[in-house]
């Protein structure tokens, strides 16, 4: 469906056209009219489904802040689980904010960096994207106020709850005006998300975009069975022989992420890792280089990859299997976005073969499997 049919303003439609956004994805098609009508929304959508723009566009469309207002009140609050996702959401808001007839300044706040510059900058901000802990620090310093808040958004609500932010979020909710619009987006609908949905949302429109309606069918999935000690050589062989220009690799731990990136670099493949033990500056630099196409390979843990949003990422490689089938979908959903095709490769050691069968069975998929031990490796 065309964005023109969804009720967005002409100024937003103009910037959508300039940025070559032609047709709305299913989550956008379903969510935008409902949000424009002021309803609360529970949106269940996989990674890469376009959900961020699905709430950013209608929220900006309905913002009614006086131009040039200079105070510490915010109109829109977006809660996210990680610094990387905070920056990603801010980028999307900033992109489309340029299409408004009036200014709606956007800011992202998170821990791991000095709080003082954030306190000073929180003046005249309309949209605030925040991690819960840092937001409460700023509230405690009287740096931000919510009396005029119009919209609360929880993005990646499942991760917010899995990371133990429930108490912080309840404290934040208690500070907000009761009359507001609430938008909750999650990749999964589990008991924790269901609980907060019942508590937070008022007569919500429930929008569920399954992975099949997203982008999974556009992804070529294949796997290689391989001895654990041969995973590194096979990985390097695939990247070099298939001339992969941009590759996102997933590992299960920070240690393995660092180890894999180091081995690739020593073998002439430009690679960096991002994980929780890296400084915020190092992580941001690596992400920026990867997004700009200046870094060939990025090795990441599941949580740190939440902020990676690249329109045409051609290759995702699972160096190690994720814990759950849903995390597998989140990982491979990084490729095959928009209308482009992508390739997802999984390296499966003998100890992982049973778990990989379980993932395929639960996700009702069948992945083409090759014997990596038969490949001649350098």
| pLDDT tens-digit readout, 220-266 | 899 999 999 999 999 999 999 889 999 999 999 989 999 999 999 99
Cα separation, 305 vs 28, whole angstroms:
22
Q: 35 or 103: whose pLDDT is higher?
A: 35
Query: In this structure, are 141 and 79 located in the same domain?
Result: yes
Taking CA 131 as the corner, what is the angle to CA 128 and CA 132, rounded to the nearest 5 degrees?
105
Range of lowest pLDDT (37-41, 261-265, 332-336):
332-336
How confident is the model at residue 213, as a pLDDT? 39
How confident is the model at residue 304, as a pLDDT? 63
Cα separation, 218 vs 348, whole angstroms:
22
3-state secondary structure of 142: coil
Cα separation, 158 vs 135, whole angstroms:
19
Q: Is the pLDDT of residue 339 over 60?
A: no
Query: In this structure, are 167 and 304 located in the same domain?
Result: no
Task: Provide the percentage of residues in the chain whose pLDDT is more than 70.
Answer: 91
Mean pLDDT of 98-115: 87
Query: In this structure, are 199 and 51 located in the same domain?
Result: yes
Query: In this structure, are 244 and 310 located in the same domain?
Result: yes
Q: How is residue 66 annotated by DSSP?
A: P
Q: What's the domain count of the chain?
A: 2
Mean pLDDT for all residues in the chain: 87
Mean pLDDT of 197-212: 80
How confident is the model at residue 212, as a pLDDT? 46
Nearby residues of 377 by Cβ (< 8 Å), 6 or more positions away: 230, 233, 234, 237
Query: In this structure, are 188 and 274 located in the same domain?
Result: no
Query: In this structure, are 154 and 298 located in the same domain?
Result: no
Instruction: Identify the domain containing residue 263 by its residue range.
Output: 215-374
pTM of the model: 0.65
Q: Under a CB-based contact definition with an 8 Å cutoff, are residues 306 and 315 in contact?
A: no
Range of lowest pLDDT (30-44, 150-164, 169-183, 201-215):
201-215
Q: Is the pLDDT of residue 318 over 80?
A: yes
Range of lowest pLDDT (145-149, 206-210, 268-272):
206-210
Backbone angles phi, psi at 81, to 5 degrees: -80, -25
Query: In this structure, are 172 and 245 located in the same domain?
Result: no
Structure tokens at 26: 């299913």
Give the end of a domain, one of 210, 225, 244.
Answer: 210
Query: In this structure, are 235 and 176 located in the same domain?
Result: no
Q: Is the pLDDT of residue 138 over 80?
A: yes
Q: Is the pLDDT of residue 214 over 50?
A: no
Mean pLDDT of 207-216: 62
Query: In this structure, are 173 and 53 located in the same domain?
Result: yes
Give the end of a domain, one of 162, 185, 210.
Answer: 210
Mean pLDDT of 47-67: 81
């Amino acid at each position: 469906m065309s964005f023109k049919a969804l009720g967005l303003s002409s100024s937003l439609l103009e910037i959508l056209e300039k940025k070559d956004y032609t047709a709305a994805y299913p989550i956008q098609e379903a969510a935008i009219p409902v949000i424009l009508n002021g309803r609360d929304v529970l949106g269940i959508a996989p990674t890469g489904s376009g959900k961020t723009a699905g709430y950013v566009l209608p929220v900006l469309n309905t913002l009614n802040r006086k131009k040039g207002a200079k105070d510490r009140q915010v109109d829109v609050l977006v809660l996210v689980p990680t610094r990387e996702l905070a920056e990603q959401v801010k980028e999307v808001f900033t992109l489309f904010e340029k299409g408004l007839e009036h200014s709606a300044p956007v800011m992202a706040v998170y821990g791991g960096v000095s709080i003082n510059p954030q306190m000073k900058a929180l003046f005249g901000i309309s949209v605030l994207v925040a991690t819960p802990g840092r937001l409460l620090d700023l509230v405690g310093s009287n740096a931000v106020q919510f009396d005029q808040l119009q919209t609360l958004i929880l993005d990646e609500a499942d991760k917010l709850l899995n990371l133990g932010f429930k108490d912080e979020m309840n404290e934040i909710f208690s500070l907000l005006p009761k009359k507001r619009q609430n938008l909750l987006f999650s990749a999964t609908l589990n008991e924790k998300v269901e609980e907060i949905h019942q508590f937070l949302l008022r007569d919500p429109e429930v929008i569920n975009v399954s992975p099949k309606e997203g982008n999974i069918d556009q992804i070529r999935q294949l796997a290689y069975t391989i001895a654990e000690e041969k995973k590194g050589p096979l990985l390097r062989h695939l990247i070099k022989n298939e001339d992969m220009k941009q590759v996102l690799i997933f590992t299960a731990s920070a240690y393995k992420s660092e180890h894999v990136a180091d081995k690739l670099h020593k073998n002439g493949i430009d690679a960096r890792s991002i994980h929780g033990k890296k400084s915020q500056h190092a992580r941001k630099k690596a992400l920026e280089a990867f997004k700009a196409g200046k870094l060939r390979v990025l090795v990441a843990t599941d949580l740190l990859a939440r902020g990676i949003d690249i329109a045409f990422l051609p290759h995702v490689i699972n160096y190690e299997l994720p814990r759950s089938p849903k995390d597998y979908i989140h990982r491979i959903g990084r490729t095959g976005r928009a209308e482009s095709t992508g390739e997802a490769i999984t390296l499966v050691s003998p100890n992982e073969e049973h778990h990989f069968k379980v993932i395929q069975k639960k996700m009702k998929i069948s992945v083409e499997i090759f014997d990596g031990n038969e490949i001649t490796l350098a």
